Chain A
Amino acid sequence: MWKILKIAQREYLDVVKTKTFILSILMTPAIIGVVIFFSSRTQRSVTGPQPPRKVVIADLTNQLTDDIKDSFEQHNKSHPQRQILLQEILTDIGSDEPIKQKVRDGQLNAYFVLDKDSIEGNGKIQSFTRSTKIIDLDLISNVESLLNSAIFNRRCKLKDVSQELLAQISELRRRVPNEIIDIGSASEQKKIEKGEQIAKIMASFFFMFMMFMGIFGMGQHMLTSVIEEKNSRVIEVLLSAVSPFELMAGKILGLAGISLTVMSLWSAAAIGTAYYGAAHWWNITLELPMGILPYFVIYFILGFLLFSSILAGIGSICNTLKEAQSLMMPISFLFILPMLVWFNIAQHPDGSLARILSFLPPLTPIVMTLRLAVSQDISLLEVFASIIMLALFVPLVMWLAAKIFRTGVLMYGKRPGLREVLRWLKSA
């Protein structure tokens, strides 16, 4: 055990002391911070004041000019930050090519044509845009409803519906506001604001991401370390003093230490920022699902053991990092899979996809962390079943990896094929 600890300690210091490691520890949150900063900037530009947009409308019904003007005026009055300037109302489209050209040139944001029988028949609106920006979609739906309200007003006038009746109808159509209340966790009821819901989803993503980084981020170090020792022949000296199993165990332990260091630093920074940000920027109280922390630790340990054993095995049969990386591809995919479907799992934490992925051992830690973070309704039975299954799978993989490691680490030259590796597993 002393030997294993010594190897772990060396492995830990070897990585932690390097400048690249210190830089990467600082850089990653910095990069995330920059991304968040800019994304909140663009968010503000959607909700904040926008430059007025210019449109031209061709009213082929030839009856709506005043109604359209009215509804645009009303809109601009009630939305001072998102003005829509009606440049011109045409009544025929005989000479609208210059206008379309203006749209193409960007002098106009959009050009709308209202069909002749729009009021009584089945006419439609045609919208001409050079839409490359999402913001323009917003403009189009705005203008669409403005035109429709103009048509509605016109129809009312044609049917002699009085203003009083209209006012009554609109009073009758008043919508009842909806308040979503969470009674899931505590006796205390609280309103769920939209921001909080997003924060909850983001928190679950954060937990999953930490799990992923914690398990996966150390992979490179494991491969580099094994292959370096192999190439520099340190391995022969090492193995004259310790058993291959001790060496592998020491390496895994050392890397686990590194991983925990990184995760605790990042988590502290991220959780601190999130609480501060929630209170100061978004005006919401943030409740991170801290209850999952014990599960997080269990899943992390098991997942880390699993992945780093696989990597030690792979590293041991390769002579260069390149070889190892090509072998790692399929395994990496396995671990990335939950990242690809995370949104689906976050939305349906009790769905069958989430359930199935939870019981595929390499995916269990990441998927279960995500599910537990997003929902309080995962049954304890399922949690324990997945832990037990993982706990049975891990020693099996470690045992196989240790066998491969023992033989592979002292082999030089050509990388052994699958058949040869299987032979080692049988013979040793």
Chain B
Amino acid sequence: MDALVLENVSKSFGDVRAVDKLSVQVPAGSVYGFLGPNGAGKTTTIRMIMNIIRPDKGLIKIFDDGATTQNKARIGYMPEERGLYRKMKVGKVLAFFGAIKGLSASELNFRVPQWLQQVDLTDWTNKKVEELSRGMHQKLQFAVTAINNPDLMILDEPFSGLDPVNQDLLKDIICRMRDEGKTILFSTHVMHEAERLCDFILLINKGKAVLDGRLDDIRSRYKSGAVSVELEGDTSFIRALPMVKTAETQGRRIEISLSEKADTQDLLKALVGRVKVKAFEVKIPSLHEIFVRLVARPEQPVVSEVEPGRRGRDNVEDS
């Protein structure tokens, strides 16, 4: 069953095509990452899924049957720009959003402390939202999104502004929710986040899908055929093996480049017995590499791994 289906969805703002004939199927129970540089159309797509803006063309189906409006109770949405009532207390905000998402008072009594504990904000229950640091605010926003245990979580840039410890905290929660059968769709422009978390990815650039599918499949499709080995014994025969294109010794290791269609397992078989294999590493291409290979022009680095200047309690003053 698909939790979410997009068919040929397009949206233009004036002359700019923000999303161009995008089709995606998000299977239930998976973690799906929308990846792409800033301005690729990720947020626009998510806002169309949430029915905040309407697509010019195309069809969006949620849980096979309905539109977003009919399934509000089953969806949790965390917008890109975080917003909560600044003057309300942390516990009260969580309880309010739980209530308008249809939780009963008894459920709230149980879930609010539970979620505050999960995102490590128990000590802040009676503090006002405006007193929270940016990272804490974001964790609270996540708790608001997840409080009613929705079947589909849609998170727009959930990790931006979080320190590594809190990023891991969030990732653990996401993984646990996936194990419980929930579907999580999130967008990010930081590739390695997706790499560790996603079952499926969609790479978007300039509103178009560049790459879509299971992460493992994509990796094997874009495998570079590079193997790094550390061997003991006479290694001169390697260059002569039929599947080997080139082999270069770099320090203790030998970097082997395989010819096309060659299987890394054949190489391993050929090595075992003749030399002692101390290390054998199939080089998996990172999403970053794949992405750069697909869309980035050399003079214009599109992907930044680290977001600058988005740490700490930097939102305390702007109240």
Q: Which residues in A have some Cβ–Cβ distance to B below 8 Å?
A: 2-3, 6-7, 10, 14, 18, 229, 232-243, 410
Contacts and interface: CB of A to CB of B under 8 A. Distances in A.
B84 A240 contact: no
A79 B84 CA distance: 72
Contact of A233 (B53, B76, B83, B101): B83
A236 B100 contact: no
Contacts of A235: 83
A234 B85 contact: yes
B91 to A, nearest CB: 14
Given A237-B141, A240-B72, 17 more contacts: A2-B102, A3-B102, A6-B100, A10-B85, A14-B85, A232-B86, A233-B81, A233-B82, A234-B84, A236-B52, A236-B79, A240-B50, A240-B76, A242-B72, A242-B100, A243-B72, A410-B52
Interface in B65-97: 69, 72, 75-79, 81-88, 96-97
A234 B100 CA distance: 13
A236 B141 CA distance: 12
Interface in B228-274: none
Interface of B: 50, 52-53, 69, 72, 75-79, 81-88, 96-97, 99-102, 141, 144-145
A232 B83 contact: yes
6 contacts: A3-B100, A6-B100, A10-B96, A18-B87, A236-B81, A237-B97
B72 A241 contact: yes
Contact of B99 (A6, A237, A243): A6
Given A3-B100, A6-B100, A14-B88, A240 B77 contact: yes
Contacts, number: 63
A237 B77 CA distance: 7
Sorted from nearest, which 7 A-B pairs have the closest CB atoms? A233-B83, A240-B77, A232-B83, A234-B83, A236-B79, A233-B81, A6-B99
Which has the most chain A C-beta neighbours within 10 Å: B81, B84, B97, B100?
B100
A235 B145 CA distance: 13
A243 B83 CA distance: 18
A7 B77 contact: no
Contacts of A6: 96, 99-100
Nearest to A232: B83
Nearest to B104: A2
A250 B26 CA distance: 34
Contacts of A237: 77-79, 83-84, 97, 141, 144-145
Contacts of B77: 236-237, 240
A231 to B, nearest CB: 8
A243 B52 CA distance: 11
Nearest to A18: B87
B82 A238 contact: no
Contact of B100 (A7, A18, A229, A233): A7
Contacts of B87: 14, 18
B72 A232 contact: no
Contacts of B53: 410
Contacts of B102: 2-3, 241
Nearest to A230: B83
Contacts of A236: 50, 52, 77, 79, 81, 83
Nearest to A411: B53
A243 B69 contact: yes
Contact of A241 (B78, B83, B101): B101
